[in-house]
């Protein structure tokens, strides 16, 4: 998660251009932050899923070992 924060800080401090999006000028840093936010959210969800799968009791049926 720290990597996403560092990339976000770099994006805000270095990307100063704007692009036209749906008829309005949007800073490129905002678009970059949205994309980074989506990746950070997916990474967080994956981390939570891994924690939940490790905490499930293995009873022989439907164990976390075979699912992906």
Q: What does the pLDDT look like over 5-40, one tens digit per residue?
A: 999 999 999 999 999 999 999 999 999 999 999 999
Identify the pLDDT of residue 1: 87
Average pLDDT over every residue of 40-48: 95
| Closest to 22 measured CA to CA, from 30, 33, 13 | 30
Q: What backbone torsions phi and psi does residue 38 show, to the nearest 5 degrees?
A: -65, -45
Number of alpha carbons in the 13 Å side-chain half-sphere of residue 28: 9
């Amino acid at each position: 998660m720290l990597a996403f924060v560092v990339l976000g800080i770099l994006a805000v401090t270095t990307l100063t251009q704007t692009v036209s999006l749906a008829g309005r000028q949007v800073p490129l840093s905002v678009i970059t932050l949205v994309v980074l936010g989506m990746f950070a959210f997916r990474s967080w969800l994956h981390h939570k899923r891994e924690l939940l799968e490790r905490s499930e009791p293995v009873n022989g049926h439907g164990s976390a070992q075979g699912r992906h």
